[in-house]
Amino acid sequence: MRALIIDDSAVMRKVVERSLRQAGLELTEVLQASNGMEALDVLRGDQQVTTPLALILSDINMPVMDGLQFLEQRKLEDLAHGVPVVMITTEASEPLVMRAIAAGAKGYICKPFTTDQVKARVMPLIRSFVTA
């Protein structure tokens, strides 16, 4: 299983990857990006890969291009179609959550988080994506 983690903090990218593995995800490859712009480049370059991504996790507050702009641009370019995107962020105000969902996010995890919370949010999305 392949995943993309987007966060401007290298520490948080590592923490999120570790949580995914602890949650039981068998990750064969974890792609990383430090902002939305980099993530779009990763997705554009990933279109010919035989094993598609199964999950994208993204922070919201990032320099250059934030998580919401990333969602909107990804939708516009139809990149990683159908791949579930889960937002992981300290910003969890209702308007922000609604905007993220409207832009295509399938889930929301607030920092600080536990491995159980990651598992509960991510596993059902992956199951429905894999069986779709």
Partner 1 sequence: MLTSVASLENNVESNSMFEHLDTAIADVFENMMGMTCLPLEHQLQQEQGMTVAICFSGLFQGGCTLYLSQSAALATTEALLGESSPDPYDPMIDDAVGELCNMIVGRWKSRLGSTQAAAKLSVPVTSREHSSAHAKEWNDGLTRSYRFQDKTFSIFLVVSEA
Nearest distance in Å: CB 131, partner 1: 31
Do residues 22 and 115 touch, judged by C-beta distance below 8 A?
yes
Nearer to partner 1, 9 or 51 (CB): 9
The token pair at 29 is 């490859």
Distance CA 93, CA 110 (A): 10
C-alpha angle 82/89/63, rounded to 5°?
A: 90
Provide, rounded to whole angstroms, the least separation between the CB of residue 118 and partner 1: 11
Q: Which is nearer to partner 1, 1 or 92 (CB)?
A: 92
Kindly determine how many residues on this chain lie close enough to bind partner 1 according to the rule CB under 8 A: 20
Q: Which residues in the 66-125 window bind partner 1 by CB under 8 A?
A: 89-94, 110-114
Measured distance CA(125)–CA(63) in Å, rounded: 28
Whole-angstrom Cα distance, residue 34 to residue 127?
27
Window 2-61: residues binding partner 1 (CB under 8 A): 9-12, 14-15, 18, 61
Backbone φ and ψ of 63, nearest 5°: -70, 170
**Least spacing, CB of residue 104 vs partner 1, in Å:** 23
Q: From the CB of 7, what's the least distance to partner 1, in Å?
A: 9
Residues near partner 1, by CB under 8 A = 9-12, 14-15, 18, 61, 63, 89-94, 110-114
